[in-house]
Structure 1
Amino acid sequence: MGKVVVIGDKYTVNLFKIMGTEGQVIEDPLSLPNVILDIRKRDDIDLVLLTKDIYDPVKEKVDGIILNQKKPLITVIPSPFSEAEALNVRKMIMSALGFG
């Protein structure tokens, strides 16, 4: 079973670290594409969770990287700094299965 890695603000990353998840704090969203490229090189990671506040400013750059890979699965999660939105679970599942 592969590892889960959280990339985002210090509060979210530290919360996941308490639960035993690996994490990386990013202060500058512009560094996110390079961090993702580095993580893709690791064979031991199956899931990468990006906080929404880090992902949104570089969404266009990151989406190109995410769409062209199979492993690890990369998804966006809310953080304490992101606005609350209703989740479209059906859309998320279809996207994870490669149908959306």
Structure 2
Amino acid sequence: MGKVVLVGDKYTVNLFKMMGAEGTIVEDPLALPQIINEVKKRQDVDLVLITKDIYNPVRESVDSIILNQKKPLITIIPSPFSEAEALDVKRMIMAALGFG
């Protein structure tokens, strides 16, 4: 089973490290594309989690990397510093049933 690597703020990275994941603390979001490219080269990593507050400022430059990546799987997660968005559960159910 491959490793999980979290890329994000100090608080979230340290929390995930306590659960056994690896982590990279990012102070400057502009460094994110380079960090992702370095992690992609590792054969032992299956999942890369990026905190939303680090991802949002460089979304345009990172989306092309994420969309064209098969392994490791790269996904965005919320952090304590990102704004929460309300879920429209009714819309999600309707879309799942083919009505949205």
TM-score by length of 2: 0.85
Alpha-carbon distance in 1 for matches of 2:4, 2:76: 13
Q: Where does structure 1 lack aligned partners over 5 or more consecutive residues?
A: 91-100
SS in 2 for 1:65: helix
Q: 1:40 to 1:64 in 2, by over 3 A?
A: same
Q: 1:55 to 1:88 in 2, by over 3 A?
A: farther
Q: Deviations over 1:12-64 (max 9, x none)?
A: 00000001100000000000000000000000000000000000000000001
Q: CA deviation at 1:85?
A: 1.2
Alpha-carbon distance in 2 for matches of 1:62, 1:3: 21
Identity %: 73
SS in 2 for 1:23: strand
Alpha-carbon distance in 1 for matches of 2:44, 2:87: 29
State the AA in 1 paired with 2:78: P
SS in 2 for 1:83: coil
Q: Could you tell me which residue of structure 2 aligns to residue 44 of structure 1?
A: 44
Residue-pair matches, total: 90
Q: CA deviation at 1:88?
A: 7.3
Alpha-carbon distance in 1 for matches of 2:8, 2:41: 19
Alpha-carbon distance in 2 for matches of 1:87, 1:37: 32
Alpha-carbon distance in 2 for matches of 1:49, 1:56: 14
TM-score by length of 1: 0.85
The correspondence of residues 1-100 of structure 1 with structure 2, limited to 5 A, is: 1-87=1-87
CA RMSD of aligned residues (A): 1.5
Alpha-carbon distance in 1 for matches of 2:75, 2:55: 10
